[in-house]
Each structure stands twice: as C-alpha cells, then as structure tokens.
Amino acid sequence: MTYRILCVILYIEKVFIYNYTFLLIYVTDPERLKHFTLSVGDSPDKATECAEHVGSVGPGATVNVSCSAVGRYLTFRREGEGVDAAGLCEVVVIGRRRISCQDCPAGTSCNDVIGCDACARGKQQPDCVKVCQDDTYGVNCREECGHCKDNEPCDKENGVCTSGCEMWYAPDLCKSYIRNPFFKTTDKPGVEDITSSSILVSWPKANDVTPGLESHYYYVVWLGLREGIFNNVSSLQEAADQHTLRSRITGLSFNTNFSVQIEPFRQLDDRRQSGTKTQIVHFKTGCRGRCLLCG
C-alpha cells in the first residue's frame, strides 16, 4: 500500500515576534517550499530579511532555520526558481508580547525582550507592573514573607506583617521564632557573698534562647524559707553578651535558712511562658553582730 505525503513541517527557531517565538509551516508540495526567505519588522513594508533557505524540502523532511530578530510582523517570501507559488496549508506563530520598559526604575537597564533588570520594592519582573505575590516582597519580590497572623499577606515593599505575627514569632517581619527557654536538670544557681542580710545569686544562661532575640527573655529569682514557701524577689532580663547572670538579694533575715531557684521566661507583648526551672539550692544567712549570739 502506498501513502501520499501531503505536508511537511518547517521549524523556524529564534524568531522573536515580541519576545520568543517558533514557527511551524505546513506545506502541500515540497517543491513549493524550495528557496524561501524570512523577514521580521514592526510593519510589513519595513521588515528586514533575517533568514534564507535555498534547497528543496523533501516529503516528511524537517528544516531548522535560525532568525534572531525582534518585530511585530513575520514575512515569508517564495523566491521563484520557476515556481510562482508557495503551497502553504497552515502557519502557526507562537510567542509572547514585547515587554514595556516604561515602568522600570530610573537608573536600571531594560530591553523589550528580557525586561527590566531590577524593579522597585514590591514589583515583579520583567516589566515591574505587577505587585509581588502574597507570599513574597521586596526588590524583585525575592524575599519570602514571614509567619503573619491568620496567614495574612505581608507588606509588598518591606515585608512587615501589619496584622501581627503568629504566636511566638518576633515582629515586625515575623520570621524569627522565640523559642521556649529551659534549664537542664543538672543546672543550679550559685550562692555567693553571703552576709547576714544579703546574698549574690548567679546562674548560667538558659538553653534554647533564640540568638538576636534576647530582649524577649528574662529570669525570675524565687526565694523561700526551707519550708517551701517561695516569693519572687528579683527579675532580670537576658543580655546577648551574658553567659552567667547575677542578682543581689537584700533585706534577708540573719541566721536564717533559705532556698533559691531560677525560672526562665519568654515574653512577647502581654504574653509570657515559663520554661523548666533550675534545681533548688539551700543556704543560710550569716550572723548579725557577734556570732556567739546566733542560735
């Protein structure tokens, strides 16, 4: 059985009709596609020739033609050689629009194929017209939004979560999580410089404090009698450069047994949450006056 080839396909690559285009030309007679040229321009009468194919296109053959040009119109021309017709049954041109440079920021470069090389904060490439998607912000929309409250979008220019942050994410970008601090079971406060009415309490920095967010952490010093009744006698905020913290407790009764314990907290606005406390350490204040008077 014999089949007749009715069409061949011509693939033309790198013809920029607006931005990027390829062209498919279906022909009815291979000889009618022999020796043709392609021209591209902004109008049919001002097109510039950019490619030429001289040979015939046989049945079922494929011809690859490169044509680097930019324009609104593509012109196909048959060059004769005894045949005054071109047997085309379909031409398909696929491309994108030419990019406008009018919204590019001053001082940036642009061309109508690639677009603006940079956009103002909150605008998308390539033409700097569309605003960033809801999960991005900044220059060329390269930054990701943080954890905004109720999944609200952040500000397209600066990334600020105007509605607030999810629980325990630090404002204004809501990207850094304020971790809950804790002490290990072996951690305990130190008791130094004991007098009849005061002591100096020291303790190590709590574990899991988020670097850079020290202002959201503080410690409470609990002091009590050996019977177990504790009172908050001191609060101390975390500092980035502190590995050991100290607090002097005054106004104590002389020659008395006390207990001390440290509790870490994280805080954000009016919310606070405590972490695991240190061990309890016991001590006794000194005598007042001559030690012989102490019981």
59 versus 184: the higher-pLDDT residue is 184
Q: Phi and psi (nearest 5°) for 215?
A: -65, -15
147 versus 12: the higher-pLDDT residue is 147
Superfamily of domain 190-293: Immunoglobulins (2.60.40.10)
For 152-192, what is each residue's pLDDT tens digit? 999 999 999 999 999 999 999 999 999 999 999 999 999 99
pTM: 0.65
10 versus 56: the higher-pLDDT residue is 56
What pLDDT is attached to residue 289? 60
Tell whether the model's pLDDT for residue 25 goes beyond 70. no
For 210-236, what is each residue's pLDDT tens digit? 999 999 999 999 999 866 678 888 888
Q: What is the DSSP letter of 9?
A: E
For 73-96, what is each residue's pLDDT tens digit? 778 787 666 666 666 556 666 556
The number of beta carbons lying within 10 Å of the beta carbon of residue 67 is: 21
Q: Give the separation between CA 289 and CA 295, rounded to whole angstroms.
A: 12
What pLDDT is attached to residue 13? 43
Note the Cα 198 to chain centre separation in Å.
51
> How would residue 19 be classed by pLDDT, with cut points 50, 70 and 90?
very low
CATH 2.60.40.10-classified regions of the chain: 190-293
